[in-house]
Amino acid sequence: MHAKLPLRWTIFGCCGLIVTLTTGCASWIELKATADSSQEPNVRAIARNEQVPLVMDSISNTRNGSPQNLSLETEQRLLGTLREIGLFSHLGGIDSAEPPAGEKFIRARLLFDEDIDQHAGDKAWKSIVIGASMFILTPFIPLDYDYAAHVTLELERWDGQIKRYESQSAGTAHYQLFSTTPLMIDELKGHVTESCLTALMQQMVHDTTFYTASSAPILDRPIHSVSVKSKRSKLTPVPISTSSGK
Amino acid sequence: MQSQALAVILLATITLCAPIPISYAGENAPRPTIGTQEIGLSAGYLLPDCLRAKCKTKQSGPAFMPSWMMTMTDPIGDSWYQGQFSLGAEAVYIEFQEPYLTHGVGFTPKIKYTFVAQDRIRPYAEFAGGPFWTDLGGKIPEQHSQFNFILTAGLGISYFLTEQAALNVGYRFQHISNAGTSHPNVGLNSSLPFAGFSFYF
């Protein structure tokens, strides 16, 4: 009787450990579907002699509203996606030189706005509960990490005309303590970014003709129209009285 | 005796950390992200800290604490208190040299908040608690039970030698008692200055 008791507890303990380690390692990513990111963009390659180069002019990256350092990875991903749709003859990064004046090319400006909610307070409390339970509650306490991106791509044609494209996507990583890895967060960010870029490219391919070399003539001096609103002065006449002193 | 033990611990820490190349200067600050794991080993010397008149035992001896931690959050906050939460576990072994040569072994889940506003020097606060077995129980008037609990609260500083290796020094307050599971339950309080190192991966 006494010999069976430790054996029973050993079996219970082993089962508990196996359940904790297997279910405590689960993770999954939930991507909130956006309306226009469900399908791959149609590749509308245009004739080679009609293609013009695209050069990155600026990349702005903000995270939860505060400016961040320039992300070369984001630039590379954007250029890679642009390469896939085959609208441009050459893709230049932010460091590459602009084509000489008098040559047709597209200037691109990217604004990448990230919104991260890592549920830090929630995690602190959950950590205390998990620790206090000696990790037994690990399988029953999921942890979350929310990531959303809003991407704005502005393309300026050689004649000064600008097209602006916007897309946004969001996702959540649900995971248990033992499956927490930096890779999982990178994976979530990768999925969301991909979704945003796909949506952007879908919008862009609808404007294929806008980017062809024959779509607009090159201007020697690009027209910059400046509207100036004149402020009408409302002066009230002041009666002037003159008096002859003498 | 105590000073000898401290010297041995310090020497062991320096010897173990000597192969770590200090190639950090001028590089970016280490940025442990969510999921970054930390394994570490700390050692210190336990000193009695009697808070009550009933406390008669002056327990002392070296303590060794291997640990594992998981970074739970990216840096939160944007001021001096900017930091990261970590959750993990620590094993603790204490060799009580006074009042009797006895041993103690424990396992404690641990939560840590590391202040990351500084680049290489990162203060932290930690809290741990869990079961603790010691054969000192039964030999002293404060504790008759060998099964106890150990609670630890501490402050420390990590100095990052590289992006993945850090030296730690700090102070811990430890409380050992049986949580009322047997009588008497006076509790043993100790101070534990410690030093150690951590690897991040």
Q: How many domains does chain A have?
A: 1
ipTM over 0.85: no
Quote the pLDDT of residue B23: 46
Q: Is residue B182 part of a domain?
A: yes
Instruction: Write out residues in chain A with pLDDT < 70, as ranges.
Output: 1-5, 20-24, 33-45, 219-246
Domain assignment of residue A94, yes or no: yes
Q: Is residue B46 part of a domain?
A: yes
User: Which residues on A lie below 8 Å from B35 (Cβ)?
Assistant: 180-185
pLDDT at A221: 54
| Per-window interface: B 27-56 vs A, CB < 8 A | 33-36
Per the structure, how many domains does chain B have?
1
Asked whether the predicted pLDDT for residue B125 surpasses 60, the reply is yes
Residue B191, token pair as written in the block = 């101070």
Is the predicted pLDDT of residue B115 greater than 90, yes or no?
A: yes
> Angle between the A72-85 and A182-205 helix axes, to the nearest 10 degrees?
40
> Which residues have a Cβ under 8 Å from the Cβ of B195 and sit 6 or more positions away?
B9, B10, B13, B42, B43, B44, B167, B168, B169
pLDDT at B16: 52
Q: From chain A, which residues contact B within 8 Å (Cβ)?
A: 116, 118, 120, 123-124, 127-128, 130-132, 134-135, 143, 145, 177, 180-185
Strands A106-117 and A52-63: parallel
* DSSP string covering B45-99: EEEE---STT-----BEEEEEEEEEEE-SS-B-SSTT-EEEEEEEEEEEEEE-BS
Closest CA to A201 of A41, A55, A77, A51: A41
Residue B139 included in any domain: yes
Q: Inter-chain contact B109–A118, Cβ cutoff 8 Å?
A: no
Asked, for residue A168, whether it belongs to a domain, the answer is yes
Asked whether the beta carbons of A118 and A145 are under 8 A apart, the reply is yes
Q: Determine contact, residues A136/A20, Cβ cutoff 8 Å.
A: yes
In a domain, A223, yes or no: no
CA closest to B87 among chain A residues? A127
Which residue range(s) make up the domain with B136?
2-16+36-98+110-161+170-200
pLDDT band for position B53 (cuts 50, 70, 90): low
| pLDDT at residue number A192 | 94
B189 assigned to some structural domain: yes
Mean pLDDT of B13-25: 49
CB contact under 8 A, A127 and B72: yes
A81 found inside a domain: yes
Torsion-angle region of residue B142: left (phi > 0), alpha (psi -120 to 50) or beta? alpha
Answer whether residue A228 is part of any domain. no
Please check whether residue B144 lies inside any domain of the structure. Answer: yes
Please name the member of A124, A132, A182 whose beta carbon is closest to the beta carbon of B36: A182
Q: Examine residue B84 and state whether it is found in any structural domain, yes or no.
A: yes
Residue B28, in any domain of the structure = no
Q: What is the pLDDT of residue A99?
A: 79
Question: What is the C-alpha separation between B167 and B182, in angstroms, rounded?
Answer: 40
Q: Is residue A113 part of a domain?
A: yes
pLDDT at A75: 85
**What CATH number corresponds to the domain at position A176?**
3.30.160
Q: Report residue A30 as tokens.
A: 């939930």
Closest to A107 in 3D by CA, of A98, A115, A116: A98
pLDDT for the residue numbered B44: 93
Q: Which of residues B31 and A204 earns the better pLDDT score?
A: A204
Q: Which residues pair with B154 in a beta bridge?
A: B126, B172
pLDDT of residue B25: 43
What's B88's domain CATH number?
A: 2.40.160.20
Of B73, B87, B110, the CB nearest to A177: B87
Quick check: B111 contacting A, CB < 8 Å? Answer: yes
Domain of A176, in residue numbers: 24-36+44-213
